[in-house]
Amino acid sequence: MGSEAEHVLTLETLNPNVIQLQYAVRGPIVIRAAEIENEIRAGVKKPFTQVVKANIGDCHATGQKPITFIRQVLALCTYPELLASIEFPEDAKAQAKRILEGCKGQSIGSYTDSCGLMVVREDIADYIAQRDGYPSNPKDIVLSTGASDGIKSVMTLLLTGKGGNDSAGFMIPIPQYPLYSAAISEFGAYPIPYYLNEKNNWSLDVSELERAITEAKPKCKPRAIVVINPGNPTGSVLNKENIVEVIKFAHRHKLFLMADEVYQHNIWEEETKFVSFKQVLQEMGAPYDKMELASFMSASKGFMGECGYRGGYAEVINLEPEVRAHYYKSISAKLCPPVSGQAVIDCIVNPPKPGQQSYDTYMREKADVLAQLKEKAKFVTKLFNSIEGISCNKVMGAMYAFPRIYLPEKAIEAAKAAGQTPDSFYCFALLEETGICTVPGSGFREEPGTYHFRTTILPQIDELKTPSILEILKLKTVIQDHN
C-alpha cells in the first residue's frame, strides 16, 4: 500500500504555506552545527575544539548571567513558602506578593486573563508613560508568549481572508527578521519588501517605501508596515526625524504601524537614543496621534536575556472598540501566556527603586551587561572592517552585526554547483573550518547581488578577542580558494 493511502499528510497534501515557510536562524547550518558538536564529543578531530553559536540572540546560552532580582522574584512566585525566608530581600518579596495576589488562587500555576495579569499590565503602562512622557492605558497592553506571539496575533487581525490580488500585504524591511517572512508565508499573505540603505548605515528612505508600495498595490492589499528599531539584523537605530517620515508615509497610505522595539535597551552609540514610535506619534498630534499602532517588547533581549521564559507584550492603541473586542476574542483562544514570563516582564518594567534593598545590585548587574555588550559591538564592527573581503556598518544597537562579504565569481559558481546560495556556501565553510555558526544573509533577504551573514555579538569578549580573530582571518581561504 502506498504512502498516499497510509497517511493523511504527505508532501502533496501538506499545507503548501508550511512548505514555503522558512526560519533561517534555526535552519540547515544550525542543524549541521549540532551534528559537528556530536562529532566532537565522539572524538572526531576538527580544526577547533567547540562550536561558537553566533546564530541566535540567546543571551544566557552564551554565558550571560541572570539578573539576581528577576530570578529572586521568580523563585518566590514559583515557591511562595520562600517568602518566609530571610535569604530574600524585602523588595523582591513585596513584588512577588503583588504578582501572586493578582493570580487566581495566588498561584502562578493558574490561568490568568487572556491579556495577562492586570497588575503586570498596569506596571507596563506606567513604564511606557515614564519612557515616553505620555499616558498609557493598561487596557491597551496585551501580554504574549514572547514578542513573536504578540506580533503574529496583530498580523492575524490584518489578514483579508482572501487570496491573490486581494491578499493582505505587509511591508517588511530588507534585511528583516525571519519571523515576518515566516508568518507571511504561514498566513498566505503577501510580502512587500522595502530595502534599507546599506550605504547609509542601513537608513530607511521614504522614496524606497514609495517604490515598494507602488509596485505592490496591483498584487495585494497593503495593510501594514513593519519597522524593526533598533534593527535586527542590521544593528541600526532610527532617529526621530526618520520615524516622523515613516509615520507620515503610513498615514498617507492608510497603513497599520507595527513597531518591533524589543531591543530598546540595547543602544551602543553615545550620540544615539532610542525613541519609540508611540512617543513620536503623540508628539506629532492630530491626525497622526489617532493612527493605529502596535509596538512590541520582549523579556528575551535587552539586559535581561530571559529567552526561555517567553515573556513579551504588545501595546496596541487607537483600535475601534468593536475591533478591540474581536482582538481580545482571538487572544482568548490561546488561554493566556506563561505566567512566569509575565512575572519576568513585571521585574523589567518595575525594577527596584532607589533606596530599596535590591537597587544597587540590580543597577550594577544591568550596567555590567550593557557595558559588555557595548564593548562587543564596537569590537565586532572594528574586527570585520579589518578583514579583507568583508565590510560592516557600525553596530549602533541591538545584538547583531550584518557584514557584507565580497565573493569572487568562481566562489559564486561553486555555490550554485553545490545547490547553495553564495552566502550559505560561505557560512557552511565558516562553520566547517572555524566552528563559528552564523546565519546566511539570504535568510534575512538582502539586496540582489549582495551577500552577507548575520552574527550575534553575544559570545564572551575573551572568546571574541582571542580565537575568533585568528579563526575569522582563516576565512580568507574560503575566498582565495576560488579566485
Which among 345, 180, 346 is positioned nearest to 259, based on CA atoms? Answer: 180
Residues spanned by the domain of 458:
3-63+370-480
pLDDT of residue 292 exceeding 80, the answer is yes
Mean pLDDT over residues 370-376, rounded?
A: 90
- Joined grid coordinates for residue 271: 550620540
- Whether residue 89 is contained in a domain is answered as no
Dihedral of alpha carbons 68, 71, 77, 79, sign: negative
Give the pLDDT of residue 421. 85
pLDDT of residue 483 exceeding 60, the answer is no
What's the mean pLDDT when you consider all of the chain?
87
- Whether residue 360 is contained in a domain is answered as no
The per-residue pLDDT for range 241-263, each reduced to its tens digit, is: 999 999 999 999 999 999 999 99
- Joined grid coordinates for residue 420: 547553495
- Whether residue 359 is contained in a domain is answered as no
Give the pLDDT of residue 84. 93
Residue 425 shares a structural domain with residue 466: yes
Binned at pLDDT 50, 70 and 90, residue 24 comes out as low
Residue 104 shares a structural domain with residue 234: yes
| CATH number, residue 115 | 3.40.640.10
DSSP letters for 428-455: HHHHHHH-EE-EEGGGG---TT-EEEEE
Residue 374 shares a structural domain with residue 476: yes
The per-residue pLDDT for range 273-285, each reduced to its tens digit, is: 999 999 999 999 9
pLDDT of residue 294 exceeding 60, the answer is yes
Q: Distances in Å between the alpha carbon of 212 and those of 184, 191, 203, 363, 399?
A: 17, 10, 15, 44, 28
Rg (CA), the chain: 23
- Whether residue 86 is contained in a domain is answered as no
Which among 129, 150, 457 is positioned nearest to 297, based on CA atoms? Answer: 150
10 Å CB burial of residue 471 (0-12, 13-18, 19+) is: middle
Mean pLDDT over residues 88-96, rounded?
A: 95
Percent above pLDDT 90 for the chain: 51
10 Å CB burial of residue 308 (0-12, 13-18, 19+) is: middle
- Whether residue 28 is contained in a domain is answered as yes
Give the pLDDT of residue 281. 96
Binned at pLDDT 50, 70 and 90, residue 415 comes out as confident
Give the pLDDT of residue 463. 67
What's the number of domains the chain is made of? 2
- Whether residue 437 is contained in a domain is answered as yes
Helices and strands: H and E segment counts in the chain: 19, 14
Residue 39 shares a structural domain with residue 187: no
Binned at pLDDT 50, 70 and 90, residue 469 comes out as very low
* DSSP for residue 22: -
Residue 344 shares a structural domain with residue 377: no
Residue 104 shares a structural domain with residue 186: yes
Cα(125)–Cα(128) distance, integer angstroms: 5
pLDDT of residue 343 exceeding 90, the answer is yes
Domain boundary among 314, 349, 384: 349
The model carries a pTM of 0.88
Give the pLDDT of residue 287. 95
Q: Which residue's entry shows cell 512622557?
A: 133
Residue 248 shares a structural domain with residue 336: yes
Q: How does 251-268 read in b/e, with b if 16+ C-beta sit within 10 Å?
A: beeebbbbbbbbbbbbbb
- Whether residue 401 is contained in a domain is answered as yes
Residue 212 shares a structural domain with residue 104: yes
Residue 215 shares a structural domain with residue 286: yes
Cα(261)–Cα(312) distance, integer angstroms: 11
Binned at pLDDT 50, 70 and 90, residue 17 comes out as low
Contact criterion met (CB below 8 Å) for 144 and 153: yes
Give the pLDDT of residue 473. 47
- Whether residue 358 is contained in a domain is answered as no
Residue 413 shares a structural domain with residue 274: no
Q: Distances in Å between the alpha carbon of 112 and those of 27, 142, 295?
A: 34, 12, 22
Residues linked to residue 226 through DSSP beta bridges, in sequence order? 258
Residue 55 shares a structural domain with residue 175: no
| CATH number, residue 424 | 3.90.1150.10
Mean pLDDT over residues 287-301, rounded?
A: 94
Cα(356)–Cα(135) distance, integer angstroms: 26
Helices (H), 109-201: 118-132, 146-158, 178-187
Residue 126 shares a structural domain with residue 10: no
